[in-house]
Amino acid sequence: MSLESLREGKIAVLLGGNSAERAVSLNSGKTVIDALQTLGMQVVAVDPAEPDWAAQLAGASLAFIVLHGPGGEDGSMQGALQTLGIPYTGSGVLGSALAMDKKRAKQLWQGIELPTAGFTTLAKDSDWQGVIDRFGKVFVKPACEGSSIGMSSANTAEALRASYELASQYAGEVLAEQFIAGPEYTVAILGDRALPSIRLETDNEFYDYEAKYISDDTRYHCPSGLSASEEAEIAALSLRAFRSLGCAVWGRVDVMRDAAGRFFVLEVNTVPGMTSHSLVPMAAAATGMAIPALVQRIVELSLGEVT
């Protein structure tokens, strides 16, 4: 299937859904729909939160997935589309599932000696003080959510218990990840290429939901201020982390750098945001690629991956 042949059919943009990131997904979906229409494509918006969403896929030549979080980014929608015989954008079932599960992604990275922050799984009967004694300050997060939803920091046993209670409101396991003091970077992946890194700067304690999607005070530095050799290092690390999970086509890798200058992978996002505040469009723009061209490239790469 070619891009030209797609113009004779229609592309279903999957957006919204039932996850905690529904609002972000709706905004991402609007961006993608506008871009596809600019490219001359016929588009139908499909929201899996609607009872007849599967029927709305009838006749679709391609599904462009911009569902964030569980139900869209965890392999379940990818598996459903494969069963229906509908090509789709982005990573497949395995890559999506592994990247969505932060615990298993980090276990895999530890196994191949890829640098990632130390962590442990929390439960109701965890030794709260023991975790603090082992790691010091930690970030607590649901293992299978994105956009920093349910995430908070803790540096005492009492705060750790409260952070666990917050994160446990979401499905899946809860992780306590060792705090890394230093700048945060993100690297967009497009095909076999890492786009220029972006350094994130916020007055909040960390790059949380408010800093990502609401605040106009968050600073994005692209170029990120890294030297050419450091840029090559973070690109290679990000590509390795992305590929090791079986991810493909496009995504985003989040990285921290400690005081000694070492890079640590935090997580991989297989369906990154495409809103006005989003980072993949920002990185693409730094290479001269506008959003319609970015969306077109994602479609072209996806057709090569899933057909």
Q: Which of 178, 196, 222 is the last residue of a domain?
A: 178
pLDDT tens digits, one per residue of 180-195: 999 999 999 999 999 9
Q: Which CATH number characterizes residue 233's domain?
A: 3.30.470.20
Residue 245 lies in a domain: yes
Residue 227 lies in a domain: yes
Q: Which of 178, 202, 221 is the last residue of a domain?
A: 178
Asked whether 303 and 248 are in contact (CB, 8 A), the reply is: no
In a shared domain, residues 233 and 171:
no
In the predicted structure, residue 92 carries a pLDDT above the cut 90: yes
pLDDT tens digits, one per residue of 47-84: 999 999 999 999 999 999 999 999 999 999 999 999 99
Asked whether 209 and 147 are in contact (CB, 8 A), the reply is: yes
What is the C-alpha to C-alpha distance for residues 116 and 255, in angstroms, rounded to an integer?
A: 9
In a shared domain, residues 279 and 215:
yes
In a shared domain, residues 186 and 301:
yes
What is the C-alpha to C-alpha distance for residues 242 and 284, in angstroms, rounded to an integer?
A: 18
Domain range for residue 152? 118-178
Tokens representing residue 95 in the block: 């890559």
Q: Which CATH number characterizes residue 20's domain?
A: 3.40.50.20
What is the C-alpha to C-alpha distance for residues 203 and 305, in angstroms, rounded to an integer?
A: 40
Q: Helix/strand/coil (H, E, C) string of 129-141?
A: HHHHHHHCCEEEE
In a shared domain, residues 278 and 216:
yes
Distance (Å) of CA 15 to CA 21, 27, 121, 128: 10, 9, 31, 39
Q: Count up the domains in the chain and report the number.
A: 3
Cα of 225 vs its chain's centroid, Å: 23
In a shared domain, residues 146 and 173:
yes
Residue 66 lies in a domain: yes
In a shared domain, residues 129 and 198:
no
In the predicted structure, residue 305 carries a pLDDT above the cut 80: no
In a shared domain, residues 165 and 193:
no
Q: How confident is the model at residue 218 (pLDDT cuts 50, 70, 90)?
A: confident
In a shared domain, residues 130 and 174:
yes
In a shared domain, residues 157 and 260:
no
Residue 97 lies in a domain: no
What is the C-alpha to C-alpha distance for residues 186 and 172, in angstroms, rounded to an integer?
A: 25
What is the C-alpha to C-alpha distance for residues 253 and 185, in angstroms, rounded to an integer?
A: 8
Residue 15 lies in a domain: yes
Average pLDDT of the residues in 284-291: 96
Residue 75 lies in a domain: yes
What is the C-alpha to C-alpha distance for residues 285 and 214, in angstroms, rounded to an integer?
A: 21
Residue count (the chain)? 307
Residue 224 lies in a domain: yes
CA angle 114, 118, 119 (to 5 degrees): 125
Residue 29 neighbours by CB under 8 Å, 6+ apart = 13, 14, 15, 16, 45, 66, 274
Average pLDDT of the residues in 217-239: 95
Q: Which of 178, 193, 228 is the last residue of a domain?
A: 178
pLDDT tens digits, one per residue of 79-91: 999 999 999 999 9
Q: What is the DSSP string of the chain?
A: --HHHHTTS-EEEE---SSTTHHHHHHHHHHHHHHHHHTT--EEEE-TTSTTTTGGGTT-SEEEE---STTTSSSHHHHHHHHHT--BSS--HHHHHHHH-HHHHHHHHHHTT--B--EEEE-TT--HHHHHHHHSSEEEEETT--TTTT-EEESSHHHHHHHHHHHTTSSS-EEEEE---S-EEEEEEETTEEPPPEEEE-SSSSS-HHHHHT-S--EEESS-S--HHHHHHHHHHHHHHHHHTT--SEEEEEEEE-TTS-EEEEEEESS---STT-HHHHHHHHTT--HHHHHHHHHHHHHHHH-
In a shared domain, residues 170 and 222:
no
Q: Known catalytic residues?
A: 21, 147, 213, 252, 254, 267, 269, 273
In a shared domain, residues 233 and 264:
yes
In a shared domain, residues 186 and 271:
yes
pLDDT tens digits, one per residue of 234-280: 999 999 999 999 999 999 999 999 999 999 999 999 999 998 779 99
Residue 64 lies in a domain: yes
Q: Which CATH number characterizes residue 144's domain?
A: 3.30.1490.20
Residue 229: CB atoms within 10 A of its CB come to: 7
